[in-house]
């Protein structure tokens, strides 16, 4: 495991296992209820990236995903 990526974002970006990254971000549901969430990205053996997206996309997350490789699969875990 690695330490969180330092950035100007409020998201904590961590590699929790080889080629598995989490993006823990605070956000508010309906701008009222602070809930936060966690998205996960997995770099597949062919170089593609699979993402379980449950947090808003910020610049730091976008940059890290760009470093990992082409995002080919996105699963929206929460459409609310």
Question: In the structure, what pLDDT confidence band is assigned to residue 11 with cuts at 50, 70 and 90?
Answer: confident
Whether 51 maps to a domain, the answer reads: yes
* Domain annotation covers residue 65: yes
The boundaries of the domain holding residue 32 are 12-76
pLDDT in tens, 45-68: 999 999 999 887 889 899 999 999
Residue 40 lies in a domain: yes
pTM given for the model = 0.76
Residues whose CB is less than 8 angstroms from the CB of residue 39 and which lie 6 or more positions away in sequence, other chains included? 22, 23, 25, 51, 52, 53, 54, 55, 61
If one counts the domains in the chain, the total is 1
């Amino acid at each position: 495991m690695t330490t969180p990526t330092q950035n100007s974002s409020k998201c904590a970006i961590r590699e929790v296992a080889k080629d598995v990254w989490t993006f823990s971000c605070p956000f508010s549901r309906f701008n009222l209820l602070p809930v936060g969430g966690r998205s996960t990205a997995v770099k597949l053996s062919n170089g593609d990236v699979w993402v379980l997206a449950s947090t808003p996309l910020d610049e730091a997350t976008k940059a890290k995903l760009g470093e990992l490789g082409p995002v080919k699969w996105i699963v929206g875990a929460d459409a609310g």
